[in-house]
Copies of this chain bind each other. A is one copy, B any other.
Amino acid sequence: MNRRRSPATAGRAFVRDYLPYLLAQANHAVHQGFAPRLRAAGLASVEWRVLATLSGGHGLTIGELAAEVLAQQPTLTKLVHRMARAGLVERRGDDADGRRTLVFETARGRALVAPLLAAAKAHERTALAAFPAADVAALKAILRALGAAAPARAARAAAGPRRPSPRAGRASAA
């Protein structure tokens, strides 16, 4: 008798209806379909997100970029250093504010990411092909609304006292 093949446990039943889990699983699944393209380009998923976000040539500060790619600021600082050494991005001081570092894509980074942007759009169309356009639009609207809570919540959290804590971060994405 194989007890592991018994009906889903309470735990599995819980996570199968729990929104964060469904979001993570959907994200993981969609990402897995695109991961081979990233591997072929020699990019980690967070590097891809950085280059995709910087695409178009305007620079972002370290802090802005960290927020955009859903990473902690030290993580982004170190990643940008690595990507700069690889020639994919360029760091510049901000004339307007000496505390800030601006990050720009380089020609090399742009060349690397341009075909990936096109492939990403095609991959998204494939992933969503089974759903009516109205459902996709509604899905994206709800996801945007859910995602919009983060900046507001972060602003409220920043106003409160900071306290040391066990790690509960790393909810980042592909």
Contacts and interface: CB of A to CB of B under 8 A. Distances in A.
Interface of A: 2-4, 6, 9-36, 38-39, 42-46, 48-49, 51-61, 64, 68, 70, 96, 102, 105, 117, 120-121, 124, 127-128, 130-131, 135, 138-140, 142-150, 153-154, 157, 165-174
Interface of A is mostly: helix
A105 B14 CA distance: 15
Contacts of A172: 24, 28, 170
26 contacts: A3-B58, A4-B60, A4-B61, A11-B54, A11-B58, A14-B52, A14-B117, A16-B144, A17-B140, A18-B52, A18-B120, A20-B124, A21-B173, A22-B143, A23-B143, A24-B27, A24-B70, A26-B147, A28-B147, A28-B172, A32-B150, A33-B149, A35-B168, A36-B168, A46-B170, A130-B145
